[in-house]
Structure 1
Amino acid sequence: MTDLTGKVALVTGGGRGQGRSHAVNLARCGASVAVCDIDVQYDTIPYDMTADRDLDVTAALVKEAGGECLTVTADVRDPRQVEAFVQAAADRFGRIDILSANAGVWAPAQVKDTSDELWRDTIDTNLGGVFHSIRAVAPHMIAQRSGRIVATSSQCGRRGVQNLGAYTATKWGVIGLVKTAAIELGEFGITVNALCPSYVDTNMINFDLYHRLFRPDLDEPNRETSDDVLKTQHTLPVGSFPAQHVSDALLYLVSDGAAMVSGTALDVTAGMSTLWSA
């Protein structure tokens, strides 16, 4: 198991889903963890977003895994709130070694039907939030001359996806930002990489509208009928899969074993990545 004893890890969007899984996995390996998430429901987002009670659950799970946990309610769209979160973590733990820039949202809409509000919420959260987070931790890592940054992109950052123009734009943007940051921060011993998951079994994809996108022909589509479609996109015989698989990939990227891995987008797609050209 990767040993992160003495390391301090920050996770944005850690109230539930992949972020919660990352936080618990990092704690299990010995890291102290600081987690932030939002306590606001965007009007543009069709599923229930995170509330403070979700952060409480994450904190309890991190402590159960053996880690110390700091939770902060913060909106990654606001650079001042992100800076305050990072500073609170530095004040509490004395250093910052790992950033999982994970916070994200999505809602389906064709490009011609995408509202200004949906575009702004998606861009400001998924891309702006990653930018704000990297910028805020960079001075701390530069001073230490070490650090691991991992941003959450998506399989949508690898291809075009119908009904997801805003989301797809952000996830392509994350990869470009990661590659540029990797160039600029490399001289300080900081690695910067992206994770590109496909269909991860979280609340973000377990709601009625999502299931209807995959099976509009059914009166009552559900997770099982969606997974039947997803299995046709994966080469491995699975539909949506647990967030733990993505967390294990993140653990590799922040480990000593990935010391020479930077500027990379790592696919965690159950084989869907066979669809792209390189």
Structure 2
Amino acid sequence: MKLAGKVAFITGAARGQGRSHAVTLAAEGADIIAVDLCAPLDTVGYPLATEEDLAETVRQVEALDRRIVARVADVRDTAGLRAAVDEGVAELGRLDIVAANAGILSSGSTQELTEAAWREMIDVNLSGVWRTCKVAIPHVIAGGRGGSLILTSSVAGLKSYPNVGHYVAAKHGVVGLARTLATELGPYGIRVNTVNPTQVDTDMIQNDVMYHLFVPDEDNPTKEQFAAASRATGLLPVDWIESRDVSEVVLFLASDAARYLTGIALPIDAGATLR
């Protein structure tokens, strides 16, 4: 029980990596504050999580005999996000860990991106991470025993990719934000790091938008064609990694095993940053 007595706040917790983080941290003793938008976004071409998905996260955490406070909240809305965190801390007693995981993906050449697509990407994937930290940090400081903020970036936060310039810009921004927060929060014993995954087997990549991005010369690319293209981006012979692979690193960064790690960008990429 590496996280016994601790409370973790997780955004984008209804499914995918967010749910995996919630369940993994709960299995190690943490209670959970979970939020998700649970609604579609106009610029995102694949279905986003639902309230039923968030309810399933609650069910899985409670099955581990841990407490969870789950709320529908939008990382673009500071007031709503703050209310969710405040309610969670009021019920669970404290806040020690933040996993700023919520994110979206869309695509288009940089010069052809619409204003709406650019704005929504930055607002969710970068400004949403900042808002998450903004509303959570006062509670972590108030706890008086340090803490760990883990911000979800991407391999695209460490290198460039074509046709996702807004995503690359946002994820690079998350790395810069984490390094600045690490500098500011070090005196409080609060560590701040990013996880930088390659393709993770979630709804964010298993859709036609991603298939066309990786296999642009096919009119109707298949999952198998995408798998081959995805595998070629790394050094290890895997098509993509699993949410659990990221969650294990989030657990490490949240735990005392990483007590002297701060300000780092940690690739979970099967070697993709070396390509």
Partner residue in 2 for 1:123: 122
Matched, 1:245 2:259: no
Query: Equivalents in 1 of 2:174, 2:147: separation in Å?
Result: 18
Partner residue in 2 for 1:138: 137
Query: Equivalents in 1 of 2:49, 2:123: separation in Å?
Result: 17
Letter of the structure 2 residue corresponding to residue 23 of structure 1: A
Query: Equivalents in 2 of 1:214, 1:233: separation in Å?
Result: 10
Query: Equivalents in 2 of 1:226, 1:61: separation in Å?
Result: 31
Partner residue in 2 for 1:177: 177
Partner residue in 2 for 1:187: 187
Query: Equivalents in 1 of 2:169, 2:218: separation in Å?
Result: 30
Letter of the structure 2 residue corresponding to residue 4 of structure 1: L
TM-superposed deviation, 1:34: 1.1
Letter of the structure 2 residue corresponding to residue 16 of structure 1: R
TM-superposed deviation, 1:213: 2.0
Aligned length: 274
Deviation sequence 1:108-162 (CA, Å, 0-9, x none): 0111111111111111111111101111111111122311100000000011110
Partner residue in 1 for 2:12: 13
Query: Equivalents in 2 of 1:222, 1:32: separation in Å?
Result: 40
TM-superposed deviation, 1:95: 0.1
Moved more, 33-42 or 181-190: 33-42
Letter of the structure 1 residue corresponding to residue 28 of structure 2: C
Moved more, 192-201 or 56-65: 56-65
Letter of the structure 2 residue corresponding to residue 238 of structure 1: V
Letter of the structure 2 residue corresponding to residue 73 of structure 1: V
Partner residue in 2 for 1:43: 42
Partner residue in 2 for 1:4: 3
Moved more, 255-264 or 136-145: 136-145
Partner residue in 1 for 2:152: 152
Q: Secondary structure at the match of 2:163?
A: coil
Whether the 8 Å contact between 2:106 and 2:209 is mirrored in structure 1 is no
Moved more, 209-218 or 223-232: 209-218
Query: Equivalents in 2 of 1:43, 1:24: separation in Å?
Result: 29
Query: Equivalents in 1 of 2:203, 2:117: separation in Å?
Result: 19
Letter of the structure 1 residue corresponding to residue 244 of structure 2: Q
Letter of the structure 2 residue corresponding to residue 82 of structure 1: L
Query: Equivalents in 1 of 2:32, 2:16: separation in Å?
Result: 16
Query: Equivalents in 2 of 1:137, 1:216: separation in Å?
Result: 41
Identity of matched residues, % = 39
Query: Equivalents in 2 of 1:206, 1:143: separation in Å?
Result: 40
Moved more, 15-24 or 141-150: 141-150
Whether the 8 Å contact between 2:179 and 2:264 is mirrored in structure 1 is yes
Query: Equivalents in 1 of 2:105, 2:228: separation in Å?
Result: 22
Query: Equivalents in 2 of 1:217, 1:167: separation in Å?
Result: 22
5+ long unaligned stretches in structure 2: none
Please identify runs of 4+ aligned residues in structure 1 that moved more than 4 A.
none
Q: Secondary structure at the match of 1:44?
A: coil
How high is the TM-score relative to the length of structure 1?
Answer: 0.96
Deviation sequence 1:198-238 (CA, Å, 0-9, x none): 00000011112221222233343222211111111111100
Matched, 1:99 2:102: no
5+ long unaligned stretches in structure 1: none
Partner residue in 1 for 2:228: 228
TM-superposed deviation, 1:65: 2.8
CA RMSD of aligned residues (A): 1.1
Letter of the structure 1 residue corresponding to residue 106 of structure 2: A
Query: Equivalents in 1 of 2:34, 2:223: separation in Å?
Result: 29
